[in-house]
Structure 1
Amino acid sequence: MSDKSSWPEQSLGFGAFYFSYYSFVGVFPTYITLYLAFRGIDAFEIGVLMSLMQAMRIVGPNLWGWMADWTGQRARVLQFTAASALVAFTGFFFGGGFWYFAFFMIAVNLFTSAQGPLSDALILAEMKGNMSRYGQLRLWGSVGYVVMTAASGFVLDWTGIGLMPWVGAVILGTVLLVSLKLYQVPRPVAERERVSVLEVLFRRDVAAFMVSGSFMLAAHSALYAFYSLYLSRLGYTSVTIGLMWAIGATAEIVFFIYQGPVVKRFGIKAIMLASLLAAVVRFALIGAGAGSFIVLLLAQLLHAATFGAHHVASILSVQKWFSGPLQARGQALFISVSYGIGGTLGGFLLSWVWDILTPASVYWVASALALAAFLAAWLSFRWQGSK
């Protein structure tokens, strides 16, 4: 990799990568459930397939995070996962049953699941731990999420959901092209010393934090696996569904813009706990009043807290515990435990709730899971002795 370092140049590259990558993160879970239903997959099987997507976040981030830290070539590993994801995604162009789509859901997400933590690790290395500019770059991911999720909703409402694989392939192709422009400064030899990840992970404050993240993402399975399908059953159009996702992402953009002064003013502890309580309220609102556009709008505005604030507080906490040669693996561990374990188990649990009880019950259970996340985070901060 090139040994030159230009922050303005790198910031453009990272901003473009975040834009394209989170465009896919927005479009894929929003519309793949509708596409799978179009292909004849039933609601329970869709929930299982979306849980497989989360399960790959157990394997993918750890595999590629370890490879990136071991080789010291985080940018190269990121580029490899981008190319492999595009190749694997071609399977969605063809029809098939549950097991067919299960294979390609696993294949695609084995690679895409690593790209978030890998890009975060690259940025942390470039910033040398200074997170004051992180929100200024990460907001471009939210902009991409908003623009492409909303635009895709209009396109798919006009052309039909069958065009969804073409939309996803174009976005993944852009992710690959942008990733090829990224580079990193070679790490000093001192950074390559072997450090035990497990030694940090098994500290009780870190373990409680990871449990909190797991419960929080289990709760968010109600959004990632069922939100679009739930709104569709309530009679909302693809355009409205896409706009709802876009409204949530717009709210998180506002938080990212003001992330620096907010963190400085309130601190990680207050931001984390407030975001978890907001999640309790948000999911209860969806469960109780999703038939009301106003209630649904209010719930989506809370995305600024339940994702934006929670994400920043989580990244800052992980960076505090896992730095230097542990950066990629630390970020990967958090994604694996929260999105991977929490998202997978949450997806299976909420699939059962959807199938046995009612769709609205999914969001009441999610609210309870968010409350459990709050309690685990409170324990973590208590053990840290944080103010």
Structure 2
Amino acid sequence: MPASAFARRVSMLYAALFACVGIYLPYLPLWLGAKGMDTREIAAILAAQVAVRLVTGPFCAFLADRTGRPRRMMVTLAALSILCLAGLSVVEGFWPILLLTVVMAGAWTPVLPLAEAFAISGAERFRLDYGRLRLWGSLSFIAASAGTGMMLDRIETAHVIFVLVAAQIAFLLVALSLPTRAVGGETLRRTAGVRLSPHDVGRLVRAPLFLVFLGAASLTQASHGVFYAFGSLHWQELGYSGGMIGALWALGVWAEVALFAMSGRIMGHVGAAGLIALGAGMAMVRWTGMAFDPGLWPLVGLQVLHAFTFGATHLGTMHFLLRAVPQPMHNTAQGLYATVSGGVMMSLVTWASGPLYRSWGGLAYLGAAALGAMSLVLALLLVATWRGGHVAEPPETRGGA
């Protein structure tokens, strides 16, 4: 397959994937409310989803590496998620909805790290700029969340589940079109004879530099938890209109897209560990500034820093995992990172942000700035000690080729 065709398909994969995320994140709670769930039941359903993600994310990523079939795993999980959504469109009552949403979350959660591992590995083989592939996900997120919001002015909230079904079907179709072979006919499957074992995974999670990386990247990403949970509410309390709040959110994502568009040049100058350190440093600046309610124009500048707090950290993370983790363990490493960063750390920060915001209001952002400071210490340690090689030994070859 030519590099241009691979780039188109992976760009479409990201667009379809983040269209699903752009519908799911903002509107699933609204759909649950429309189905008659009260606030306690909605909280229970969302918490149960987080719990199951902590198991299925790393487990499915490990299976993808062990079997050497990440595309098949993506397709299977997406199909299971669609079946659950189809069931949700017809069931009623708390327990059936809880069961199906938990299974759906368990199936859908591993899809993102599997897609990331597939994309970054393919971009390396085809000498493509990963950021220019990934930016289509960010653009799609904006379009899907805004478009679904406008649709809800014309359709019942309970029907948003059908929009999500359509988006996931689109993702499944794109996933089915992905290549199984790369440049020169080299297979995207595992190296012949290599079979990942739990012992190999244990070596990775005990590797000191992997743990330093995991702490640095996860702390910066988790520092967004205060903002994601209470950013809009705080701006509303400060008197910003709904339109202005939406514009500020969109500005952050557009800044992220701009960074992704220039990622190739930035990577060449800063490097993976340097990008993670840059994201941590900008997290300290961004959250400290937001803690003191600086007014609209300084806030605009602080929102532009999302390009670094999220975008630079994400780019550094993807390139670190590509270079520091042996190829037969890429999916597993992505799954572990997603579980720690988006699962454990983000859940803890989001939970802690509630009492912090209740007691201190906008000053709760100082807690997020403290996470950025801790991340910066670890990121600078990574910059000083990682020399660009693997942080763990590759899996042993087992059996014949």
In 2: Cα distance, 1:369 partner to 1:100 partner: 38
Q: 1:383 aligns with which of 385, 391, 395?
A: 385
Q: Secondary structure at the match of 1:279?
A: helix
- Aligned counterparts of 2:245 and 2:169: Cα–Cα separation in 1: 25
Q: How far is the alpha carbon of 1:287 from its aligned partner?
A: 3.8
CA contact (8 A) 1:124 1:131 kept: no
Change in CA separation of 1:184 and 1:142 when aligned onto 2, cut-off 3 Å: same
| Deviation, structure 1 residue 104 | 4.7
- Give 1:88's match in structure 2, choosing from 72, 84, 103: 84
Q: Which residue of 1 aligns with 2:313?
A: 310
Equivalence for 1:175 = 171
Match of 1:284 in 2: 288
Does the C-alpha gap of structure 1 residues 171 and 228 become closer, same or farther in structure 2, counting only changes over 3 Å? farther
Q: Deviations over 1:279-313 (max 9, x none)?
A: 223233444328x5445433332111111111010
Partner amino acid, structure 1, of 2:306: H
Amino acid at match of 2:224: H
Distance 1:149 1:268, change over 3 A: same
CA distance in 1 between counterparts of 2:177 and 2:63 reads 20
**Residue 136 (structure 1) aligned with residue 132 (structure 2):** yes
Equivalent-residue separation in structure 1 for 2:364 and 2:100 (angstroms): 26
> Over alpha carbons, which structure has the higher Rg?
2
Report how far residue 15 of structure 1 moved.
Answer: 0.8
Distance 1:365 1:101 in 2: 35
Correspondence for 2:269: 265
- Structure-to-structure mapping, 1:2-81, within 5 angstroms: 5-33=1-29, 35=31, 41-42=38-39, 50=46, 52-81=48-77
Q: C-alpha offsets along residues 79-109 of structure 1, whole Å, 9 cap, x if unaligned?
A: 1111122222346656655x77654553332
| 1:178-203 CA-partner distances (Å, limit 9, x unpaired) | 22212312336436244712213212
Residues 126 and 184 of structure 1 are in contact (CA less than 8 Å); yes or no, is this contact kept in structure 2?
no
Identity of aligned residues (%): 25
CA distance in 1, matches of 2:246, 2:172: 24
For the residues of structure 1 that align with 2:249 and 2:155, how far apart are their CA atoms? 20
2:280–2:372 Cα contact (<8 Å) kept: yes
Task: State the Cα RMSD in Å.
Answer: 3.2
- State the 1:73 CA deviation: 1.4
Aligned mates of 1:141, 1:228 — CA distance in 2: 22
Q: Give the CA deviation at 1:328.
A: 0.9
Name which structure has the greater RCO, CA cutoff 8 Å, separation 6+.
1
Q: 1:306-351: per-residue Cα shift (whole Å, max 9, x none)?
A: 1111101011111122132111111111111211221222222223
* Residue 128 of structure 1, CA deviation: 4.8
Report matched runs for 1:201-220 at 5 Å: 201-220=205-224
Distance in 1 (alpha carbons) for counterparts of 2:2 and 2:102: 37
When structure 1 is superposed on structure 2, of 173-182 and 307-316 the one drifting more is: 173-182
Contact 1:29 1:225 in 2 (8 A): no
TM-score w.r.t. the length of structure 2 is 0.81
**Cα distance in 2 for residues equivalent to 1:208 and 1:328:** 19
Which letter does structure 1 place at the counterpart of 2:312? A
Provide the rounded CA distance (Å) in 2 between the counterparts of 1:55 and 1:362: 25
Which residues of structure 1 form unaligned runs of 5+? none
Go from structure 1 to structure 2 and tell me whether the alpha carbon gap of 1:160 and 1:280 turns closer, same or farther (over 3 Å shift).
Answer: farther
